């Protein structure tokens, strides 16, 4: 049978390119879990995906209620869940003030981390039930959260501190930042990506042996053309793609990045669990090292426990 992969945020950028790459193999049915139904339908058509290869389902990660509803609706389709890809993200580098999710969490961490945290915890049961030979859960990471890299050292750097802001609710009353500091939109995004990478490793430690599910993260390269930068200042949007292409040389097209993520979904040689994948200049994959903070097992455990409380699992 075809595999079923759920991809969050498949209405643009990396998620869409991955959906297309998987659909083209003829071996996958892609559930595009998106907040904007019409946009997702149009996007699927625009890249030439055929009707039988995908289903669009509503998911707004900035609402825990919506996450639960998505899980219910997915279960009602009676499709097995073989692979979950947590890809959606918001990035608000120029915001002066924080905005908040339906439950009142700062929106970058609320969407990118807490929404996906609840989704992955709930869908783990569905993955367990699947009889697919290689079941996987993938959380898209980023170099920007990794302070052991050049890009990760551009200020403001990611830093979760002792998680005091998160523990106090991340609702702007005490703080809207995980470390309890002043609001900074770019840092909030980077922090959320560190959370994504910590969560993947904690899932691996807790569930890989018991379930056989492969847990993985990746940095697909800098896809300087995606909508992720839509809220950046115009000059940045103009100069960032050529800067990445010719100077940093980390640039990767949406199509190539989609193929990389599709490999992490289905390539038999990328089936190892607990790995953060990256690609070198000739596009071969390798197991990359995470920064000290992004591989801190104690922090991962604490993040897990605090996040469980915030999303109502504990
Ligand atoms: P895009 O902005 O193109 O895509 C982000 C997707 O997330 C969109 O489909 C968007 O939906 C969706 N999304 C945003 N908020 C929500 C929400 N509340 N509920 C559901 N979906 C939501 O960015 P990219 O494709 O670049 O980003 C995809 C992933 O890749 C992210 O995890 C990002 O961190 C990561 N990444 C990107 C890099 C890059 O250079 N671009 C580098 C490294 C990692 P909508 O279409 O409705 O806006």
Q: What is the mean pLDDT for each group of 10 consecutive residues in the chain (314 residues)? A: 97 98 98 98 97 98 98 98 98 95 98 98 98 97 77 85 98 95 96 97 98 96 84 83 75 94 97 95 88 94 98 96
Cα end-to-end distance, the chain, whole Å: 37
Does the CB atom of residue 252 touch ligand 1 within 6 A? no
Does the CB atom of residue 89 touch ligand 1 within 6 A? yes
What number does the ligand 1 atom closest to the CA of 228 have? Answer: 2
Separation of 43 CA from ligand 1 center, angstroms?
A: 14
- From the number of C-beta atoms within 10 Å of its C-beta (0-12, 13-18, 19+), residue 76 rates as exposed
Q: What Cα–Cα distance (Å) separates residue 238 from each residue in 144, 223, 229, 251? A: 20, 14, 10, 14
3-state SS assignment for residue 208: helix
Q: Is the ipTM of this complex over 0.85?
A: yes
Separation of 2 CA from ligand 1 center, angstroms?
A: 26
Bridge partner list, 86: 139
Separation of 18 CA from ligand 1 center, angstroms?
A: 12
- Amino acid 106: pLDDT: 98
Q: Whose CA is nearest to atom 33 of ligand 1?
A: 89
Does the CB atom of residue 140 touch ligand 1 within 6 A? yes
- Amino acid 225: pLDDT: 83
- Amino acid 228: pLDDT: 83
Residues 144-180 as b or e (16 or more Cβ within 10 Å = b):
bbbbebebbeeebbbbbeebbbbbebbbbeebbbbbb
What number does the ligand 1 atom closest to the CA of 87 have? Answer: 32
What number does the ligand 1 atom closest to the CA of 222 have? Answer: 40
- What are phi and psi for residue 213, nearest 5 degrees? -70, 140
What number does the ligand 1 atom closest to the CA of 66 have? Answer: 19
Separation of 302 CA from ligand 1 center, angstroms?
A: 26
Residue at token pair 């469980």: 308
- Amino acid 108: pLDDT: 98
- Amino acid 48: pLDDT: 97
**To test the ligand 1 pocket, which listed residue (226, 230, 256, 277) has its Cβ within 8 A of the most ligand atoms?**
226
Q: Whose CA is nearest to atom 12 of ligand 1?
A: 9
Separation of 209 CA from ligand 1 center, angstroms?
A: 30
Active site residues: 189
- What are phi and psi for residue 296, nearest 5 degrees? -80, 105
Bridge partner list, 3: 28
- Amino acid 224: pLDDT: 84
Does the CB atom of residue 60 touch ligand 1 within 6 A? yes
Does the CB atom of residue 56 touch ligand 1 within 6 A? no
Separation of 298 CA from ligand 1 center, angstroms?
A: 28
Q: Under a CB-based contact definition with an 8 Å cutoff, are residues 157 and 190 in contact? A: yes
Q: Under a CB-based contact definition with an 8 Å cutoff, are residues 197 and 217 in contact? A: yes
Cα(252)–Cα(232) distance, integer angstroms: 19
**To test the ligand 1 pocket, which listed residue (12, 32, 191) has its Cβ within 8 A of the most ligand atoms?**
12
3-state SS assignment for residue 307: helix
Does the CB atom of residue 111 touch ligand 1 within 6 A? yes
Q: Where are the beta strands (DSSP E) in the chain?
A: 3-8, 28-34, 54-58, 83-86, 136-140, 214-218, 275-279, 285-287
């Amino acid at each position: 049978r075809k595999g079923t992969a759920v991809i969050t945020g498949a209405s643009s950028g990396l998620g869409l390119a991955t959906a297309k790459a998987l659909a083209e193999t003829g071996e996958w049915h892609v559930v595009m879990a998106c907040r904007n139904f019409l946009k997702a339908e149009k996007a699927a058509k625009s890249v030439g995906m055929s009707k039988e290869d995908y289903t669009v389902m509503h998911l707004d990660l900035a609402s825990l209620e919506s996450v639960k509803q998505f899980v219910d609706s997915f279960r009602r389709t009676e499709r097995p869940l073989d692979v979950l890809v947590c890809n959606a993200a918001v990035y608000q580098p120029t915001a002066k003030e924080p905005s908040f999710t339906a439950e009142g969490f700062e929106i970058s961490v609320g969407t990118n981390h807490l929404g996906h945290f609840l989704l992955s915890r709930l869908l783990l049961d569905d993955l367990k039930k699947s009889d697919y030979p290689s079941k996987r859960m993938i959380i898209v990471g980023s170099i920007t959260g990794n302070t052991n890299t050049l890009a990760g050292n551009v200020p403001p750097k990611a830093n979760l501190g002792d998680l005091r802001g998160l523990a106090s609710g991340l609702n702007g009353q005490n703080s809207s930042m995980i470390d309890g500091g002043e609001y900074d939109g770019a840092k909030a995004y980077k922090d959320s990506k560190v959370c994504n990478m910590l969560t993947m490793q904690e899932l691996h430690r807790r569930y890989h042996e018991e379930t056989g599910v492969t847990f993985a993260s990746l940095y697909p390269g800098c896809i300087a053309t995606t909508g992720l930068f839509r809220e950046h200042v115009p000059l940045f949007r103009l100069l960032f793609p050529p800067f990445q292409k010719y100077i940093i040389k980390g640039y990767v097209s949406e199509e190539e990045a989609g193929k990389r993520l599709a490999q992490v979904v289905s390539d038999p040689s990328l089936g190892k669990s607990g790995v953060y994948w990256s690609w070198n200049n000739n596009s071969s994959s390798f197991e990359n090292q995470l920064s000290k903070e992004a591989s801190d097992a104690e922090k991962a455990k604490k993040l897990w426990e605090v996040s469980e409380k915030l999303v109502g699992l504990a």
